[in-house]
Structure 1
Amino acid sequence: MSGRYRQHAFAPGRSLLCRWEYVQGTEASPALVLPDACVDLLWDGERLRIAGPDTRAQYARIAPGRRISGLRFAPGAATRWLGVPLHVLADQRVDLRDLGIPRLATLADRMAEHDADAMAWLADRIQTDTPPRSDAISAVHARLSRARPDTVAQLARDLGINERTLLRRCDEAFGYGPKLLACILRLQRFLRQRHHHANLLEAALDAGYYDAAQLAGDARRLTGLTPTRLIAQVAD
């Protein structure tokens, strides 16, 4: 039996996108975690960890029957709440206590006090405590989410900054630069839209790929899989 995933979305415009829960099935097969330009908090009943921004797919090994609860940050919100630039957390799963920030360690210690309501309690704290979002960072994410995203040069020019400053701000807010962010968002767009097309090429073109070869290149770099195999694993 495979794992079971449930998700509850928060209202748009908040610091958190959703609250989710994953329960591993009776098999101990690894769960595929794809890069999605998001950062999550993970609670397993004992430890509160931050899942940093992934630059490539990872496989989470979860014991049979194990329950993992999560909170997913809106783009750019995690670094404001944590007070840590996200590039230092890229491809990592880190216990909040290990970040050396007293308020985060205190939150982690208090999770067990709230038992079944722990994630609801934490979500309220995050929604209340996260500083306002940057309009510039929101604009970067929105414009790189398009099927035909702006170039780095165009983004920097429109924001009134140089390309090096744009790269630094993206590293802090997303964990990597704008070019990799655009690639990750494009692959996620392809996966969301694939059901609406008769074949992979149509889905790829609609998502913003120039051709099937570009899709295959992105899929292999970001996941290590062919597009066909990737879709099969996501469907599983």
Structure 2
Amino acid sequence: MGTAEFGYVERASRLRGAVVWSKRSRRHGPARILPDGCMDVIHSDGELYVAGPDTTAHLSWSAAGQRSVAVRFAPGQGPALLGVPAWELRDQRVPLRALWSETTARRLTERLDEAADPAAELESVLLRMAADREPDPLAPRLTARLRAGWTVAGIAAEVGLSERQLHRRGLALYGYGLKTLARILRLQDALGLARGGVAYAAAAASAGYADQAHLARDVKALAGVPMQALLQRAA
């Protein structure tokens, strides 16, 4: 991965379903991070921490020129490698030393501080760890069903679990129940279309919203700002 002098770049990871990303902040101040059902292991300014699954937008503060690199796990894929259920990290930023041993976290941080390509180094370390920590195979299936518009009841019947059992499984995998994850995924799908130039009403319909007003309400609730302001800031 080539790192841009400023801005954000990402590539597919060798870890299944994950993404490796790198960012150098353009200015001092906050960036609005939207919920996406994912978990990230992030190295920034000599610190190594985990970003848990968010339920609403998170404001991340950084200084101009600050560099961050990370591996972002697909929804439901992070808990097995990190060794902690996702609900324990919901809406939190947690130092890695709080999840792993102090010695392990310190040694990894030092390696990343000294690495010529810290993003690739972080990916390699996590890839080795993942060799004997298989993620729950149900997670990609659940995520795909939700993206396709399945109801929670329909998914529960297909996978042979009660809705209560499925809810507990969702908490461990995603940090919240499947209905919340479906809402977050739907918002991400609609915003992706809108960023690509699709009209708001068409983006809402394609993502499964009742209408554009429904999409606008979800954007305000989950992102904290109106859709037009959100897209203008992203641009």
Please, what TM-score do these two structures have when normalized by structure 2? 0.89
Unmatched runs of 5 consecutive residues or more in structure 1: none
Task: Report the counterpart of residue 165 of structure 2 in structure 1.
Answer: 165
Q: Cα RMSD between the aligned structures?
A: 1.8
Query: Which position in structure 2 is the counterpart of 1:133?
Result: 135
Find the counterpart in structure 1 of residue 95 from structure 2. 95
Asked if residue 110 in structure 1 is aligned to residue 112 in structure 2, the reply is: no
Q: Distance in 2 between matches of 1:218 and 1:141?
A: 19
For residue 197 of structure 1, report the CA deviation from its aligned partner.
5.3
Figure out how many residues of one structure are paired with residues of the other and give that number. 226
Partner Cα separation in structure 2 for residue 206 and residue 66 of structure 1? 37
Q: Is the 8 A contact 1:86 1:172 kept in 2?
A: yes
Matches within 5 A, 1:42-81: 42-81=42-81
- Aligned counterparts of 2:214 and 2:103: Cα–Cα separation in 1: 43
CA distance in 2, matches of 1:223, 1:214: 14
Equivalent position of 1:155 in the other structure: 155
Contact 1:197 1:203 in 2 (8 A): no
Match of 2:121 in 1: 121
Q: Which digits, 9 at most, give the CA deviation of each residue in 1:199-232, with x for residues without a partner?
A: 2101110111110121012111101112222222
Over 4 Å off, 4+ runs: 195-198
Match of 1:141, SS state, is helix
CA distance in 2, matches of 1:72, 1:178: 20
Q: Is the 8 A contact 1:96 1:105 kept in 2?
A: no
Distance 2:197 2:210 in 1: 16
Partner amino acid, structure 2, of 1:217: R
- Between the aligned partners of 2:201 and 2:72, the Cα distance in structure 1 is 31
Q: Which residue of 1 aligns with 2:205?
A: 205
Equivalent-residue separation in structure 2 for 1:6 and 1:106 (angstroms): 28
Give the aligned partner of residue 3 of structure 2. Answer: none
Match of 1:178 in 2: 178
- Unpaired runs of 5+ residues, structure 2, are 1-5
Question: Percent identity between the aligned chains?
Answer: 36
Contact 1:45–1:112 (Cα < 8 Å) also in 2: no
User: Do the aligned partners of residues 121 and 16 (structure 1) sit closer, same or farther apart at CA in structure 2, a change above 3 Å counting?
Assistant: farther
Q: Which amino acid aligns with 1:111?
A: T
